[in-house]
Amino acid sequence: MNTDLLFLIDTAYDRVSWHGTNLRGSIRGLTPAQAARRPAPNRHNIWELVVHAAYWKYVAWRRLTNAKRGAFPLQGSNWMTRPHEVSVKAWRADVALLDEMHKKLRAAVADLRPSHLRKTSKGSRVTTLGLVTGIAAHDLYHAGQIQLIKKLVGRFGR
């Protein structure tokens, strides 16, 4: 088991860490209306960032497991317009998708052999180690982005 890599992706996602808010913490307590609010016209909202992060966790999982494309539960890739419906049910479903993709990714990382960390996936120039550390960085990048959006949107009311 790759305890160091699991520590890295977990602290970036949902475990207590010294650096501040992680991805899951950045969306804690948000209402669907807050998650759907755009900081400016033609800018991504928090809801879209959540689905985007879920999608890239899926991509990393797929590369680690050599799974075929097409298993992501939502239509589209990378950036998907959200929400289709501003409701607690829809928001919770997309947050649950993020959690599910993290669990799948975590399981794949736990199964990695140390000898595979310096190898690249078929068709990729990124090593397995680079992929795993990159997905942790991706979570933290978007956690910071969400924190900024919350502050910006908060200035204009809820």
Contacts of 98 (CB under 8 A, 6+ apart): 23, 24, 50, 51, 53, 54, 57
Do 45 and 38 touch, CB atoms closer than 8 A?
yes
Give CA–CA dist 109/122, Å, rounded. 17
Domains of the chain: 3-154 (1.20.120.450)
| Helices and strands, number each (H, E), in the chain | 6, 0
Please write the tens of the pLDDT for every residue from 23-71: 999 999 999 999 999 999 999 999 999 999 999 999 999 999 988 888 8
Which tokens belong to 4? 């160091």
CA distances from 5 to 24, 49, 85 (A): 18, 23, 36
134-154 residue pLDDT tens: 999 999 999 999 999 999 887
| pTM beyond 0.85 | yes
Half-sphere exposure of 32 (CA within 13 A, CB side): 13
